[in-house]
Amino acid sequence: MNKQRSAFVTGATGFVGRHLVEQLVDEGWAVHALARPTADTSALPSALQLHAGDITDLASIELAMPDAPDAVFHIAADTSMWFRDADRQHAINVGGTKNMLAAAKSKAARRFLHTSSVAAYGFPHGILTEDSPRDTSGYWIGYYRSKAMAEQQVRSSELDHVVLNPGHIVGPYDTHNWARMIRMVAARKLPGIPPGSGSFADAREVAHAHRRAVDHGRSGSNYILGGGNHRFTEVIETIGRLLEQPVPSRVSPPWLLKSYAKVLEMVSRVTGRPPDLTPESVAIVCHEGPADSSRAIADLDYRITPLNVLFADTIEWMKKEGQL
C-alpha cells in the first residue's frame, strides 16, 4: 500500500490556495494548512488539517509543518498596491518567504513550490517568457519589488524548488481581484477602460499546475502561468456582454487615470483608507503584458481557459454567492 503523501500550504483561505487544497484533498493527500487565528476557514474542506500561525512568525510555522512533507506550497502573499502598506508587505512577502524556506529546510521538505507572479519580472518588453530579462523599472511598485526579492530568496536556497509565476488570475472564489471589476460593471460604475493588456489565467488551472509541479516541474525552474492574451477593452466588453450591461466604449488615456489616482491618493491621506485606484495600479493597467505559457503547457499539463468561459464561470459563482 502506498504511503499517503503530505503537503503543507500557506494561503489556503485565499483565491488560489482554496482551489489547491480542494484538489489535494480530492487526490487523497494529507494536507496541513497554516492560517491566521482571525482567518475565515469555514469554506475549506473538513479533511484539511488547520494550524493557527503566521508566516511572519517562524516558530508558529515550525510548530505547524509536519516532518518531511512531500511538498510545501507557499502561496500566501500581500498583494496591496498602496504605498502605505509597503512595510507590512515586505514583512509578509519577503520576511515570510525567508521563514518558510527556513522551516521547510529544518523539516526536510522534499520540494518547495513557490507562488510568485509575473510581477517579479517587472515591466519587460514584448511577450514574457521564463527567460525574459528582469526589468527593474517596475520595482518602484512595492508588490513587484517584494515578489522579486522573495523569488530571489527561493532561487538562492538549497531546497529543491519550483517557482510559478501566474498572470492575471480569474475564476470562482475570487472576491476582490477581478471580482471588483465585475461588480463595477454590474453596477454601471466603471468610469473607463484602461489602455493596457494582460494574460488571463484560470485559478483552477493555476492550482492544477502547482500540483503537477510537485512531480513534473523542473527543479530550479520558473513557470509562467498566463493564459489568453487580451486587451482590457476586450475583457471589459466580455464582462458587459455576460452581465447584459453597457460598458464604456472608449479607452481612458493614461494621463487621465494617473491624475485621477493622484486625487484619490490625496483623499486617502485624510481618510486613512486605501484608494480604489493608486498610481501603482494605474501603471499596471497601462502596461502591455502578454505572456507565453508554453513551458507550463508542456511540463505541467497547464491549460488555458477561453476568456468568455473563464468570466462566465466567475460571474455564475459570484451570483450564487450573492456577490452580484
User: What pTM did the predictor assign?
Assistant: 0.94
State how far the alpha carbon of 245 is from the alpha carbons of 35, 188, 192, 268, 323, in Å.
38, 7, 14, 30, 16
The SS3 call for residue 30 is strand
Q: Locate cell 516558530: which residue?
A: 59
Number of helical H runs and strand E runs in the chain:
12, 10
**Domains detected in the chain:** 6-174+197-232+290-307 (3.40.50.720)
Q: What are phi and psi of 224, to 5 degrees?
A: -75, 125
- pLDDT given at position 137: 87
Residues 190, 9: Cα–Cα separation, whole Å: 36
Q: Give pLDDT, residue 147.
A: 97
Check: CB of residue 224 under 8 Å from CB of residue 295. Answer: yes
In this prediction, residue 167 carries a pLDDT of: 96
Determine the pLDDT at residue 267.
87
> Which residues, other chains included, contact 292 with Cβ-Cβ below 8 Å and sequence gap of 6+?
127, 128, 129, 224, 226
For residue 180, the model assigns a pLDDT of 86
Q: What is the pLDDT of residue 1?
A: 55
One pLDDT digit (tens) per residue for the chain, 324 residues: 578 999 999 999 999 999 999 999 999 999 999 999 898 898 999 999 999 999 999 999 999 999 999 999 999 999 988 888 899 999 999 999 999 999 999 999 999 999 999 999 999 989 999 999 999 888 999 999 999 999 999 999 999 999 999 999 999 999 888 998 899 899 998 878 889 999 999 999 999 999 999 999 999 999 999 999 999 999 999 999 999 999 988 898 988 888 888 888 888 888 888 887 888 988 998 999 999 999 999 999 999 999 999 999 999 999 999 988
Per-position b or e across 16-46, b if 16+ CB within 10 A of its CB: bbbbbbbbbbeeebbbbbbbeeebeeeebbe
Give the Å distances, CA to CA, from 323 to 4, 159, 235, 244, 246.
38, 41, 19, 16, 19
- Cβ neighbors of 246 (< 8 A, separation 6 or more) are 188, 240
pLDDT of residue 274: 83
* Distance, CA of 167 to CA of 234 (rounded, Å): 17
Quick one: residue 79, left, alpha or beta (phi over 0 = left, psi -120 to 50 = alpha)? alpha
